[in-house]
């Protein structure tokens, strides 16, 4: 493929994302080239596009795309001899910050994977696992990592805040962990319907009933220091809205746990007296080191015991990139929008 070119999605400034023509990458020492077959559009991709990068000025265009799977087409010197052309893989983007500040992005037909290692960056796929489902390993492992930090157990009563793609992945992984007492909250009925299909026990539109009232009704309630609390053990914040976090802290019980998986775009004010008085544990989770969870998510996918089809709302060819972004921005009609790469680059 020497001298060949392809299109790569890169951000040039706020609201300015382009398909740039670049050279098809070649594998150097310790590297593999993967032909991308499927790449999900993440909410962080949309945020990076809107703000023009990762929060600071761009020194050069920023490649995007980090939820992907495909096929190895070549490997450089020094690579594990199991990494051979034709190997079907899902890729953990963490080590090289693929699509998240690093020099590579997976919204392209080919991508260079540095530090190419089985079980670290490259995870072989079972023959029956299709690429779109394999690409879900990234967002599923994001949710699972946040739960592992809080040691979520099957008996826990859990509330998921937000039924966007990560919130939906949280429901799927909670069911994987054996949880059955799962409530989820959003303002979009279509997303709540998807959450029910994935196994949420209670799905509430907060425009119709408050989070506090619904949790007290569903998980039970009590009183501590003259204040009502819900019997919810764990809260998974996948929405990133200050008012929602404030309500959670106000209704949280003694020793409740909160995982912050959501992307907060500005500082949030919280009631630290409540956090102290109720010994509430708040844990941030960026999923920057989740190799075990990535592998576990793929094993869950391959096991086929859960129907993950509600997670993917749309599959569009990379040639429809602009349309795919517009759909992904529409919370009413979309969940996970998956780009597919069925045509070779010109």
Domain that holds residue 274: 139-284
User: Do 79 and 208 sit in the same domain of this protein?
Assistant: no
186 membership: H or E segment, kind and range: strand 181-186
User: Do 118 and 9 sit in the same domain of this protein?
Assistant: yes
Q: CA–CA separation, 43 vs 165, rounded Å?
A: 8
Q: Indicate whether 303 belongs to any domain.
A: no
Q: Indicate whether 184 belongs to any domain.
A: yes
Residue 343 reports pLDDT greater than 70:
no
CATH number at residue 22: 3.90.180.10
For the stretch 165-184, pLDDT in tens is 999 999 999 999 999 999 99
232-259 as b/e: b if 16+ CB within 10 A: bbbbbbbbbeeebbebbbbbbbeebbbb
Q: What is the number of domains present in the chain?
A: 2
Q: Indicate whether 291 belongs to any domain.
A: no
User: Do 179 and 237 sit in the same domain of this protein?
Assistant: yes
Q: Indicate whether 302 belongs to any domain.
A: no
pTM over 0.85: yes
182 membership: H or E segment, kind and range: strand 181-186
User: Do 151 and 263 sit in the same domain of this protein?
Assistant: yes
For the stretch 208-228, pLDDT in tens is 999 999 999 999 999 988 899
User: Do 204 and 132 sit in the same domain of this protein?
Assistant: no
pLDDT at 226: 87
CATH number at residue 195: 3.40.50.720
Q: Indicate whether 293 belongs to any domain.
A: no
User: Do 71 and 151 sit in the same domain of this protein?
Assistant: no
pLDDT at 344: 60
User: Do 110 and 194 sit in the same domain of this protein?
Assistant: no
């Amino acid at each position: 493929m020497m001298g060949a070119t392809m299109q790569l999605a890169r951000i040039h400034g706020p609201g300015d994302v382009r398909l740039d023509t670049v050279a098809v990458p070649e594998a150097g020492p310790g590297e593999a080239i993967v032909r991308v077959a499927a790449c999900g559009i993440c909410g962080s991709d949309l945020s990076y596009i809107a703000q023009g990068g990762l929060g600071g000025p761009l020194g050069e265009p920023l490649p995007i795309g980090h939820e992907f799977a495909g096929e190895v087409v070549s490997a450089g010197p020094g690579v594990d001899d199991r990494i051979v052309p034709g190997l079907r893989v899902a890729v953990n983007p963490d080590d090289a910050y693929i699509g998240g500040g690093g020099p590579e992005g997976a919204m392209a037909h080919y991508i260079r994977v540095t530090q190419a290692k089985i079980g670290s960056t490259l995870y072989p796929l079972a023959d029956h696992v299709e690429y779109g489902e394999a690409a879900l390993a990234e967002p599923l492992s994001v949710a699972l990592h946040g739960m592992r930090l809080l040691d979520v157990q099957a008996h826990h009563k859990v509330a998921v805040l937000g039924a966007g793609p990560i919130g939906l992945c949280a429901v799927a992984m909670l069911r994987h962990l054996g949880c059955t007492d799962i409530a989820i909250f959003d303002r979009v009925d279509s997303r709540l319907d998807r959450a029910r299909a994935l196994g949420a026990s209670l799905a509430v539109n907060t425009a119709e009933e408050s989070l506090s009232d619904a949790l007290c009704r569903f998980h039970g309630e009590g009183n501590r220091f003259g204040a009502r609390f819900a019997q919810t053990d764990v809260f998974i914040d996948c929405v990133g809205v200050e008012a929602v976090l404030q309500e959670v802290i106000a209704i949280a019980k003694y020793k409740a746990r909160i995982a912050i998986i959501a992307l907060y775009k500005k500082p949030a004010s919280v009631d630290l007296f409540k956090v102290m008085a109720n010994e509430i544990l708040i844990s941030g989770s960026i999923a920057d080191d989740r190799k075990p969870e990535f592998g576990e998510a793929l094993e869950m996918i391959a096991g086929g015991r859960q129907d993950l089809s509600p997670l993917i709302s749309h599959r569009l060819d990379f040639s429809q990139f602009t349309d795919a972004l517009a759909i992904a921005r529409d919370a009413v009609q979309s969940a996970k929008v998956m780009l597919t790469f069925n045509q070779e680059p010109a």
